[in-house]
């Protein structure tokens, strides 16, 4: 999809997410989930406007993307579903976050970063075949989770470089999920900006806070 013209990022944004949220406020919220340094990197340049322009699709895992092959898109969709699974809100895969990652990598990241993302998706599939004799997409969910936990722990033959590459993909995954309407308004506690100030509000009255629910 052709990107919309880049506008002042502190003005009204497309309706992909909460209409009154500006870039500065979103950065603070995203930083609470993935850290300030990573959030700043994700939002540099026109990345925020590009993210807002993405329209979720229902068939992203069934065809090749601009960065990933069709099979890699399938693997990435399963990774998304494991990292942010369905609870009382849809999973990241159901919200087409894998399609978002492909779109964001192609539009805002260089060739080296795109290649690193492809490499770690391929490595996850290779280690699945090596340890379970099955491709990642055919593993049970518990086994898929085990592979990703091994990657985080640099086990099963995964290296520190692999873990770093996966962290970059996972950051895009979280970015994509929480720029979706569901992620912003249901998974997180969203308050419009500007809004009134209320001090000393009991946590129990809020019910939830900014966070990733759980990576696994």
DSSP-derived secondary structure letter, 184: I
**Contact criterion met (CB below 8 Å) for 21 and 193:** yes
% of the chain exceeding 90 in pLDDT: 51
Per-residue pLDDT at 216 exceeds 50: no
What local confidence, expressed as pLDDT, does residue 103 receive?
95
pLDDT band at 196 (very low <50, low <70, confident <90, very high): very low
pLDDT band at 25 (very low <50, low <70, confident <90, very high): low
Average pLDDT, the chain: 78
Token pair, residue 208, equals: 């939830």
**Contact criterion met (CB below 8 Å) for 151 and 162:** yes
Cα–Cα distance measured from residue 216 to residue 148, given in angstroms and rounded to the nearest whole number: 9
Per-residue pLDDT at 113 exceeds 90: yes
Task: Give this prediction's pTM.
Answer: 0.73
Mean pLDDT of 84-112: 93
Q: What angle do CA 213, 98, 191 make, to 5 degrees?
A: 40
Whether the CA torsion 9, 10, 15, 16 is positive or negative: it is positive
Each domain of the chain, given as residue ranges in start order, spans: 23-189
**Contact criterion met (CB below 8 Å) for 95 and 182:** yes
What local confidence, expressed as pLDDT, does residue 24 receive?
62
What local confidence, expressed as pLDDT, does residue 70 receive?
97
What is the three-class DSSP state of 96? coil
pLDDT band at 9 (very low <50, low <70, confident <90, very high): very low
Helix runs in 44-96, H state only: 47-53, 70-83
29-78 pLDDT, tens per residue?
666 666 666 766 777 777 877 887 888 899 999 999 999 999 999 999 99
Mean pLDDT of 186-211: 49
Over its C-alpha atoms, the chain yields an Rg (Å, rounded) of 17
What is the three-class DSSP state of 206? helix
Name 34's Cβ contacts closer than 8 Å, sequence gap at least 6. Answer: 42, 171, 174, 175, 212
Phi-psi region of 133 (alpha: psi -120 to 50; beta: other; left: phi over 0): left
130-184 pLDDT, tens per residue?
999 999 999 999 999 999 999 999 999 999 999 999 999 999 998 898 888 776 6
Q: What angle do CA 191, 105, 140 make, to 5 degrees?
A: 80
């Amino acid at each position: 999809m052709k990107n919309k013209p880049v506008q002042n990022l502190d003005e009204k944004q497309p309706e992909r997410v909460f209409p009154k949220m500006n870039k500065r406020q979103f950065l603070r919220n995203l930083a609470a989930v993935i850290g300030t340094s990573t959030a700043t990197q994700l939002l540099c340049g026109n990345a925020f406007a590009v993210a807002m322009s993405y329209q979720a699709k229902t068939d992203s895992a069934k065809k090749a993307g601009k960065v990933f092959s069709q099979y890699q898109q399938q693997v990435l969709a399963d990774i998304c579903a494991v990292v942010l699974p369905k609870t009382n809100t849809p999973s990241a895969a159901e919200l087409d976050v894998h399609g978002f990652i492909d779109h964001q990598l192609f539009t805002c990241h260089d060739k080296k970063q795109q290649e690193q993302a492809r490499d770690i998706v391929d490595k996850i599939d290779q280690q699945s075949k090596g340890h379970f004799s099955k491709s990642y997409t055919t593993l049970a969910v518990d086994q898929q989770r085990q592979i990703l936990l091994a990657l985080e722990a640099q086990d099963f033959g995964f290296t520190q470089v692999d873990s770093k590459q996966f962290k970059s993909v996972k950051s895009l995954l979280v970015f994509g999920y929480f720029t979706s309407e569901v992620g912003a308004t249901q998974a997180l506690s969203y308050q419009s900006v500007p809004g009134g100030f209320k001090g000393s509000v009991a946590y129990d009255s809020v019910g939830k806070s900014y966070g990733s629910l759980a990576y696994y």
